[in-house]
Amino acid sequence: MTKSLKKYFLVFTGPTLIAFLIAFIVPFFMGLYLSLTKFTTLTNAKWVGFDNYQTALTGNTGFVKALGFTALVSAISIITVNLGAFVLAYLLTRKLRGTNLFRSVFFMPNLIGGIVLGYTWQVMLNAILRHWGQTIVNDWRLGMAGLILLINWQLMGYMMIIYIAGLQNVPPELIEASQIDGAGKWMTLRHVTIPMVMPSITICLFLTLANTFKMYDQNLALTNGAPLKQTQMAALNIVDLMYKQVGKQGIAQAQAVIFFIIVSVIAVLQLRATRAKEVEA
Amino acid sequence: MRPITRRSMLGGSAAVALAATLAACSNGSDSGDSGTGSVYFLNFKPEAEEVFKTIASTYTEKTGVQVKVVTAASGTYEQTLQTEVAKSNPPTIFNINGPVGLATWQDYALDISDADFVKDLTDPSMALTDDAGTVYGSPLATEGYGLIYNGEIMDAYFATDGAKASSIDEIKGFDKLKEVVEDMQSKKDELGIDGVFACTSFTPGEDWRWQTHLANYPIYYEFKDKGVTDTPDLELTYSDNYRQIFDLYLNNSTVEPSALSSKYVSDSMAEFALGKAAMVQNGNWAWSQISEVDGNVVKEDQIHFMPIYIGVDGEEDSGIALGTENFLSINSQASEADQQASIDFLNWLFMDAEAAKLLTDNSVVSMAPYSAFAELAPADPLGAEVVEYMNNDDLYPINWVFQTFPSQDFKDQVGQHLSQYASGAEDWDDVKNYFVEEWHAEKSA
């Protein structure tokens, strides 16, 4: 088995490896290089060293503010998405009628693309807000609430599926044992179920974090940063700087690198923290 | 001969497939082998894609020169250009968006001062030049914008009791316009309209009529006073004029100002087409939008342009805003044969009567500033009016100076401030301050 694996290693991993190289590794290193240059296209880059990084962090590009807003939106939606998903999963693993139907219904929004979702919700929310003479882009708080609502609607079903898988893997004998020992429903949940689904929590937190932090399409379609870039998230800020201002491509690229580092660091820290809480049955 | 095993057959066919792919690639990228050069036109107007493909194949049939047309999706032209230009087989003809675009693409724009079609420009000042006067781009079309009005509704108003004017010719200047508009708004039920002006669209990305076209007016007059074509120190001296025309739009509209940030340009064009509004600020390209609305009630001979008046002395002699935004440039990094082929193609496109007709008949351009277009009548009513205004020597045109606006981001944020002003969240001073300060910041960066 190992021998034949070795023999066909390249045949099976080759295509993926090449694709990964072309679509990820090469652009990543090109990006690193470009972030240290001033460029219009990939071929006419001029070396400027770390100037771009300095401008990105201290200049008037709105990047730091966008990062702050991103963090705020992410923090709120990570909590709401995961709480909601867990509750849904908990309910849908009870013996109720039509759980399969509900599972599909809740999962469905995840299948729709972000741009479509954004525009659909924009129209719906604006129709509701019209009663108060408002629109979603009149006030940044409305825009933020809209974004969080959208994220919840899109991600909750997906996370729910993962939690359901986790809940179904909790050994029934553990639950039974705790009940025999006199634990109530709440005690069982708190001391048996949650520790046992910790791996699912790790995955879900990671996915929500990564998804909300680098969210772009939904932000573009729903508010496009309006009003006055107050609802502009980091990814949108980078793209806008790249294509809508003159001669700032290098700075935008530097911001992208900084953004990558921030997301990676947070993700690693979070993975460590929740992994530490995982237990064996 | 060795019998062919299954493995060597597999390997062989893989090799053949690979070779075929490579060959296909190099075929596609290298049609300039023969030394005649080929043309790769990166098109800015998605609505004109089919027409340009027809034009390309017509040209290929006539001359045998390959013309490839690639169209960037709406709103993604800059991205597409950036990636396409970096490829080994870059576009040979591309669009530059005025002097600000030229600053970005200077390294890629060929000096075309001596090209025949540039020399054929009816108005040489229409070309895109650097400070030294070297031509780097030539316009694709002349376009115009102003107040589009529905003649039927206006006539109905002029017939009402106590109308403030008896014909459209009496409206010459902001004061009269305001008087008429406000009177019309008070009689809107009688006239059967929801408001005089179609809604002032302010959904992000739908605000270009205000942050670009309307903002052009105060800047145009400021430049004119100062005798300059651009300045790093804008004062927005006509700020109050900008405000009063904008207020007029807001207060006499079909919808409440607070709802504007959810309105699209297509909403306002639909309102106009359905006869719910008497006027809408837009350009000649809007005809296709108006005529395509279901249930459209505006008759072709009842749709006209009126200049936008903002209350500046002498504006009774002003016409509509005429200009161009997109300049065609030749890629200076392309091979010489390709550059020559591209120039030949544009020579044909703008100087040959048949080619010019292909452009106007299909409404890609109503009008282009080359002599071959002088005899051609645009197919649509608004295009025809643009030509009329162009040839009217009694009126001075408002030039499109918005090409000098610092960046797309600048325009977008001006739109945001206008939207906030409209909804009451900001004062006009905030709009003005942003305009002046950000202009200065970006221009001197």
Q: What is the pLDDT of residues B119-171, one digit of tens each?
A: 988 888 888 988 888 999 999 888 899 999 999 999 999 999 999 999 999 99
Q: Name the minimum distance, in Å, from the CA of B425 to any CA of chain A.
A: 8
B255 vs A contacts (CB less than 8 Å): none
Q: How far is B102 from chain A (nearest CA, A)?
A: 10
pLDDT at B19 over 50: no
Q: Residue A229: how many CB atoms within 10 A of its CB? A: 21
Residue B178: per-residue pLDDT: 95
Residue A164 has pLDDT above 70, yes or no: yes
Q: Residue A227: which of B86, B103, B416 has the nearest Cβ?
A: B416
B256 has a chain A CB within 8 A of its CB:
yes
> Once rounded to an integer, what is the mean pLDDT over residues B39-47?
88
* Contact across the interface for B261 and A130, Cβ inside 8 Å: no
Q: In chain A, what residues touch B205 (CB-CB under 8 Å)?
A: 224
Helix A63-92 / helix A198-213 crossing angle, nearest 10 deg? 140
3-state SS class at B71: strand
pLDDT digits (tens, 9 = 90+) for B44-91: 888 788 889 999 999 999 999 999 999 988 778 888 898 898 888 899
The values of phi and psi at residue B91, to 5°, are: -60, 145
d(CA A17, CA A28): 15
pLDDT (average), residues A228-246: 90
Residues of B in contact with A134 (CB under 8 A): 258
Q: Assess A41–B contact: CB distance below 8 Å, yes or no.
A: yes
Q: B256 and A133: CB-CB below 8 Å?
A: yes
pTM: 0.84
CB atoms within 10 A of CB B362: 16
Instruction: Pick left, alpha or beta for residue B291 (phi over 0 → left; psi -120 to 50 → alpha; otherwise beta).
Output: alpha
State the smallest CA–CA distance between residue B409 and chain A in angstroms. 5
> Which of the residue ranges A158-172, B123-137, B150-164, B407-421 would you say has the lowest mean pLDDT?
B123-137
Q: What percentage of residues in chain B have a pLDDT greater than 70?
A: 92
What ipTM describes this predicted complex? 0.82
pLDDT tens-digit series, residues B215-264: 999 999 999 999 998 899 999 999 999 999 999 999 999 998 888 888 99
The count of other CB atoms within 10 Å of the CB of residue B34 is 10
Asked, as a colleague might, if the bond just before A227 is cis with ω within 30 of 0, I would say yes
- Does any CB of chain B come closer than 8 Å to the CB of residue A98? no
Q: What is the mean pLDDT of chain A?
A: 90
Q: Is there a contact between B259 and A241 if contact means CB atoms under 8 Å apart?
A: no
Q: What pLDDT band is residue B35 in, cutting at 50, 70 and 90?
A: low
- Cβ pairs bridging A and B (under 8 Å): 88
Q: What is the C-alpha to C-alpha distance for residues A29 and A52, in angstroms, rounded to an integer?
A: 16
Which residues, in sequence order, are CB contacts of B200 under 8 Å at separation 6+? B209, B210, B249, B250, B253, B257, B260, B263, B268, B422
Of A40, A60, A245, the CB nearest to B107: A40
pLDDT band at A247 (very low <50, low <70, confident <90, very high): confident
How far CA A75 is from CA of A124, A209, A259, B144, in Å, comes to 25, 8, 16, 49
pLDDT of residue B273: 94
- In the sheet where B128-129 sits, what is the strand order? B67-71, B39-43, B93-96, B327-330, B135-139, B128-129
**pLDDT for the residue A184:** 86
- Contacts of residue B384, Cβ cutoff 8 Å, sequence gap at least 6: B366, B377, B378
Range A165-186 average pLDDT:
89
Distance from CA of B100 to the nearest CA of A (A): 7
Greater model confidence, B26 or B51: B51
Å between A53 CA and nearest CA of chain B: 17
Alpha-carbon gap, residue A28 to A32, rounded angstroms: 6
Provide φ and ψ at B190, rounded to 5°: -60, -40
User: What pLDDT is recorded for position B20?
Assistant: 42
pLDDT above 60 for A121: yes
Written as one string, the DSSP assignment of B282-344 is EETTHHHHHHHSTT----GGGEEEE----S-TTGGGEEEEEE-S-EEEEBTTS-HHHHHHHHH
Q: Summarize the confidence of residues B32-45 as an average pLDDT.
A: 78
Q: Which residues of A touch B419 (CB under 8 A)?
A: 137-138, 226-227
Q: Beta B318-323 vs B396-399: how paired, if at all?
A: parallel
Q: Does the pLDDT at position B2 exceed 70?
A: no
Indicate if the pLDDT at residue B6 is higher than 50: no
